[in-house]
Amino acid sequence: MNPAPPTAPPPDDARLQLAVLGMTCAACVGRVERVLTRSPGVLDARVNLATEQATIDYDAHLTDPDALAAAIRDAGYEVPPRDPEAPAGGDARARLEAIDAANDVEAKQDRRDLAVAAALTVPLLVVAMSHGAIPGTAGALGRWLQLALATPVLFGPGRRFFRLAWAALRHRSADMNVLVALGAFTAWAWSAAVTIVSPASMHGHAPVYFEASAAIVTFMLLGKLLERRARRHLGDAVRALVAMLPPTATRLRGGVEVEVPIASLLPGDRLRVRPGQRVATDGVVRDGHASVDESTLTGESLPVERAVGDPVQGGTLVTDGTFVMEVTRRGADSAVARIVDAVAEAQGSRAPIARLADRVSAVFVPTVVGIAVVTFAAWMLLGAGLAVSVERFVAVLVIACPCALGLATPAAIAVGTSRAAALGVLVKGADALERGASIDRVLFDKTGTLTEGRLRVASVVTTGGRPEGELLALAAAVEAGSEHPLARAIVAEGAARGATPKAASGFASTAGGGVRATVGGKAVRVGTARWLLAEGVDPAALEGEARAAAGRGETAVFVAEGASLAGLVTLGDTPRAEASAAVKALAAMGVGVAMVTGDREATARAVAATVGVTEVFAEVLPAEKAERVAAERAVGRRVAMVGDGVNDAPALASADLGVAMGGGTDVAASSADVTILRGGVGAVALVLGLARATRRTIRQNLFWAFAYNLVGLPLAAGALEPLTGWTLSPVFASAAMSLSSVSVLVNSLRLRGWRP
């Protein structure tokens, strides 16, 4: 069942998003979440390994961001410093810059450590694999040389694994670092003991594994460097969105222009915007005029003219002209900034399919250590000797990879939501993307969804010889208080005909019915025939004209003055250009389509026939739309409801997937799971297709992560040796482990090139 739409947190609650660096696997995620949830005042904490982000809901009276960051650092992880002047939630630009800056520092250290480790490990491998063929490397001298090469690798570049392993154990947890540290140290300790302590007579018989201990560290460092590079691409979509907002703006104060960071902008500030510049935040033009490219928000390819009194949105590009604008929203509250934050939060969310990996990861490391101990004991009992038993013990420890399990779902979700944003679709969370993959039924609203929503008045019919202009003025007086597309069209037509509306008072609206107000001392109602009848006004006199209009695909709006029917206004709406192709695309995907609308039956069917929809539910009230969704779900269908996000809110909230038709200035209604920013209704098939591709990628990642460990562990333990003679040395086991998580990331990054 679709979860209830999120509600605004109580005033005392706050949400904090922090970058968390140094996590390596799902066990790290679990440890950070446990540390946070046990902290005083924390209500909920969600940590994402792929995006290196923690989202924390907390009581602002009981804790603060600095205390939460300190708790994470105490658990052994890094939290980049945040601006103390920034709001608790911060902003995506600051978080992304902090993560990138910290990752750049860590990447430099990774490269230095890898260079040192490789410089010592390569000659060590040559010496070890020559088996004394190189002069001076045989016997005790060769072992001492290997000890001299391996020790700096283990306790130099490899010290990070010991530090992180100790931090994990200190918090009664175990992660990948425990496996690496234990495996590398065991191989080195055994070899050092053989070299230093054992009698000289044993040197020719007891093998040493110095090359394994050094190779484990070197391959892990290589894997981490490759993983870091691949992981960086997960945030490319957010970086592209952030790039739409300039870092600074030109503020006007006392006639003086000053360049200031957009984070310092406040409502009421005046900004100068010139050709070639991007608008810093949302506002209103107060002086001048310009052509503005809004394609990044609306998808409209042609620039629009903006003059005094017109709104402008942050992130749009001024192509010609200049103007002075007044800021109406802070930079962090602008349309683009909210889109950026929504995408970042969606990337950091957790899909239900991840629960299996979470459960496995919680016991993964202790289980692997147990398997390693059993392997050691089994080979000892079989008489293989201490050296072989140690080799198998180390191989089991270093081949197991909880990283791949931990990254399997969040990496695919991060890329999937990023790709959706790049295609003009805002997905609110991982669960929405997962539910979208199962949709087999789509219900469309009509007005503003399958049609343009730009209605025009087609005809005006009056009773009692009343002039058309007078009826339009009467209807416009009432509709002026409504934001419905029908209302806007009537008001616009009245203004175009010079029909000046009178003052209205006592405006009231009935969802799915109509509006009423008092005009000139009389109650005036504008709405559907069924609603007027319920209000005590008989619309029968104009039902014939209404039916004729419906046959033409027009919507009829009745007007009543007092208890008498005053006339009828019909309005036409053009189906969206992409609607027919969208319906065909969904049918090709095996998804059933129906129209659910409050319009009259004949009008709805006329539009449905034009776009190729054969199943129509007409004259349906908003509450009844939700009932229709429930009825579809009751027979086992997975339902997506597509509407305008306002009148269709009950249906959007009750569907398996709510899809709102929006724009850059109207980011996802709280009742919708997905908001289409551009592409119109044609993007619905895109959403479902991308959701299916993301689910397929997650399943591939999980399959290979599980399969890798299920095959790798028995092979490393030597279980296949009696049958096939196959064994796996710790050197190759460490190489396989380091590359497994990289393969999951690379597979997920394939979604960046997905096309509908």
Query: Catalytic residue numbers?
Result: 445
Where is 540: in which H helix or E strand?
Answer: none
Helical ranges in 59-201 per DSSP H: 65-74, 92-130, 139-155, 159-170, 176-196
Q: Is 508 helix (H, G, I), strand (E, B) or coil?
A: strand
> Are 600 and 619 a contacting pair, CB within 8 Å?
yes
> Are 409 and 350 a contacting pair, CB within 8 Å?
yes
> Are 242 and 424 a contacting pair, CB within 8 Å?
no
Question: What burial letters (b/e) apply to 411-448, b meaning 16+ CB within 10 Å?
Answer: bbbbbbbbbbbebbbbbbbbbbbbbbbebbbbbbbbbb
750's CB contacts (< 8 A; 6+ apart) are 697
Evaluate the CA torsion angle 453, 615, 755, 342 in order and state its sign: positive
Task: Tell me, letter by letter, the H, E, C secondary structure of 35-61.
Answer: HHHCCCCEEEEEEECCCCEEEEEEECC
What would the two tokens of residue 192 be? Answer: 């050092």
Say if strands 311-312 and 256-261 run parallel, antiparallel, or are unpaired. unpaired
Largest Cα–Cα distance of the chain, in whole Å?
121
Cα(24)–Cα(17) distance, rounded to whole angstroms? 19
First to last CA, the chain: 27
385's CB contacts (< 8 A; 6+ apart) are 379
HSE toward the beta carbon, residue 567, CA cutoff 13 A: 19
Cα(220)–Cα(213) distance, rounded to whole angstroms? 11
Cα(590)–Cα(594) distance, rounded to whole angstroms? 13
> Are 455 and 485 a contacting pair, CB within 8 Å?
yes
> Are 666 and 338 a contacting pair, CB within 8 Å?
no
Residue type, 126: V
Residue carrying the six token digits 């890798």: 708
Q: Is 573 helix (H, G, I), strand (E, B) or coil?
A: coil
Cα(57)–Cα(485) distance, rounded to whole angstroms? 38
What is the number of other CB atoms lying within 10 angstroms of the CB of residue 396?
A: 30
